[in-house]
Amino acid sequence: MIVIVKLMGGLGNQMFQYAAARSLSSRKIYFDDSFLNKNNISSEDFTARRFELHIFRRLKVKILNPYAQRLLLTKNKKYDFLKLLLPNSLKRICHIDDSNINENLSKKHQNEILYIDGYFQNPTYFNEIRKSLLNEFAFPELDDKFTGLLNDIENSNSVAIHIRRGDYLKSKINEHHGVLPLSYYKNAVKILEGKLIDPKYFIFSDDPNWCKNNFAFLANKEIVSKENEPWIDMYLISKCKNQIIANSSFSWWGAWLNQFINKIVIAPKNWFNSIESNIVPKEWISL
């Protein structure tokens, strides 16, 4: 059985896609990055992304080369005669999305290609392999310039707050995702203030100026630079003892990778504007 996963979205979404694929196979996984390569220009209703998973050096994966992408995945008559030369195990492709990933696919399709195509934003798909994913999603070492910030995070009752604005403010994207109101963060802080002693808040955002103007109600806080590579912010979020996350797969993974036993994670109940979601684990606080 060969598992190929179609990559879409940024770092957080690509991690969901990999985790779903890994739940189906412990063997090497092949990445289809053709969507990222073809859709490399942002617009009013789309944010272009690049391949981000290269930072995780323990992943047992390989990029599917362009020729294999065309041969195996393209419905084109000019490739039909070449497909006749392939072994039977490469002629049958089972397409997996959110509707059928829960089926016992590994046993049903031993001799087929499993093509994973979706966002798979549901932790129940991969909870059973959490230990393996924590090992595989191991970040590189930080530069020395982050030592002071990391020490501050690890030696305080740290709370990561993630505010996602940026592309979420675009009208088409906003219709789907929505931007969380300031009241969400104020209510989340109120909950944590009743549970934590002397918390310190570390604010991560693509709009730090907005945060400076709107989070004056927090005295003990630090706004982290937005100039960092995405993985650096995710790593720093994961090292905080507690999280208030946005409706973003990026901060979701920062919270999920947090291994602090007594962590408190607060997440928005309504992840999207128009559709229901199963993304928030039951042990987190939905607000």
Instruction: Check which CATH number belongs to the domain holding 151 and give it.
Output: 3.40.50.11350
State whether 120 and 186 are in the same domain.
no
The predicted structure's pLDDT at residue 105: 52
State whether 158 and 238 are in the same domain.
yes
Residue bearing the bigger pLDDT, 271 or 237: 237
> Which of 90, 114, 136 is the endpoint of a domain?
136
Phi, psi of 72 (to 5 degrees): -85, -30
User: Which residue type occupies 137?
Assistant: F
State whether 150 and 263 are in the same domain.
yes
The predicted structure's pLDDT at residue 79: 42
- Over 70: is that where the pLDDT of 235 sits? yes
Lowest mean pLDDT among 62-66, 75-79, 188-192, 240-244: 75-79
* Residue 72 structure tokens: 């195996």
- Over 60: is that where the pLDDT of 237 sits? yes
- Model confidence at 44, in pLDDT bands (50, 70, 90)? low
- Over 60: is that where the pLDDT of 84 sits? no
> Which of 136, 162, 195 is the endpoint of a domain?
136
State the average pLDDT for the chain: 83
State whether 48 and 166 are in the same domain.
no
The predicted structure's pLDDT at residue 38: 80
Express each pLDDT in 151-202 by its tens digit.
Answer: 999 999 999 999 987 655 444 544 445 689 999 999 999 999 999 999 999 9
Residue bearing the bigger pLDDT, 118 or 265: 265
> Which of 87, 120, 136 is the endpoint of a domain?
136
Alpha-carbon span 255 to 268, nearest angstrom:
13
The predicted structure's pLDDT at residue 149: 96
The pLDDT of 99-120, averaged and rounded, is 70
- Model confidence at 43, in pLDDT bands (50, 70, 90)? low
Residue bearing the bigger pLDDT, 178 or 268: 268
- Model confidence at 92, in pLDDT bands (50, 70, 90)? low
State whether 123 and 153 are in the same domain.
no
State whether 192 and 80 are in the same domain.
no
The predicted structure's pLDDT at residue 27: 78
- What does pTM read for this prediction? 0.87
- Over 70: is that where the pLDDT of 48 sits? no
Q: What's the total number of domains in the chain?
A: 2
Alpha-carbon span 142 to 139, nearest angstrom:
8
- Over 70: is that where the pLDDT of 71 sits? no
Alpha-carbon span 152 to 209, nearest angstrom:
22
State whether 81 and 152 are in the same domain.
no
- Over 70: is that where the pLDDT of 245 sits? yes
State whether 153 and 108 are in the same domain.
no
The pLDDT of 40-45, averaged and rounded, is 58
State whether 240 and 109 are in the same domain.
no
State whether 170 and 209 are in the same domain.
yes
Containing structural domain, residue 187: 144-286
State whether 132 and 151 are in the same domain.
no
State whether 277 and 149 are in the same domain.
yes
